Amino acid sequence: MRPPPFLIATACAVFACAPPPPPATSRTGFGSRLRVATWNVHDLFDAEDRLLPPGDLDPVLSTAALDAKLGRVAAVLDRVDADLVLLQEVENLPLAEALAARAGYPEARLVEGFDPRGIDVALLSRRRIGRYASHLGETSSDGRPLWSRDCVEARVEAAGGPVVLVGSHLVSRITDPTGGRRAEQAAGMRRIADAAVSTEPGALVLAGGDLNDEPESASLAPLLADGDWVDALSVVGLGDVWTWLGSGGGARFDYLLLPWSEAWRVVSASAVDGADVAAASDHRPVVVELEWGR
């Protein structure tokens, strides 16, 4: 039996939220590891002018500017060297496919959402994607679409078994200053991730993306407050590291989460920094390496 949430909070404060030990039957015999990343690539738009929504507020890059942007992002992805990459702020599937080709990923997925700027979530994968489900049809309590930028659910085949990745880009503080809509989206992500754990026994379930708020915020409480899902950066003692840099300083917006019972699988986690990252985006990629082999 795992400890109650208040004891988890105390342990996290003292021991940087040390994960539970692996089950006795899983201590040996690992054959491979899995690297997963999430990164907001900041306004990856194409060179076409689309006059109708969604996306009617999108900038239009020149062909040269687009080529340069793709090159900068692909160079960082090459350094990150992740098997699965969840991306935010990609305009459309052809653009995701162009980036995948540059960065050496055989699979790319994207479903266009309702964001007026046309920014969407995407997935690049070196592993076979067996299923890629959109949740755009879900509605919020006020009857509007719950997901302006989608919440995707991908099932990927990996050496250690199936991996389910739940990813989104929650609404920003600019459009949702009180955090109420973001909280409803966080609750939706938690519901989808919990359902994946229940319906995919034996799969490794991960959730995250650009959640646009700090770990202790009320808007992310539906996802994080009870401790059943943990942040990989916090598992390794980096819970306070910034992942987005604005004019007022850094903030922690980007996450890869996994069930508390699976946190022992985290081998390493980092927010990747460098001049190449800063040249490509205002966000740092979050990269997690996991034990997931047989």
Question: Quick one: average pLDDT of 39-61?
Answer: 75
Give the Å distances, CA to CA, from 291 to 51, 193, 234, 237, 241.
Answer: 46, 20, 17, 18, 23
Question: Quick one: average pLDDT of 20-49?
Answer: 77
Q: What is the pLDDT of residues 106-125, one digit of tens each?
A: 999 999 999 988 899 999 99
Structural domains present in the chain: 121-291 (3.60.10.10)
Q: What is the pLDDT of residues 235-256, one digit of tens each?
A: 999 999 999 999 889 999 999 9
- Write down the pLDDT at residue 9: 35
pTM above 0.85, yes or no: yes
Burial of 127 per CB tally in 10 Å (0-12, 13-18, 19+) = middle
Residue 36, H or E segment: strand 33-44
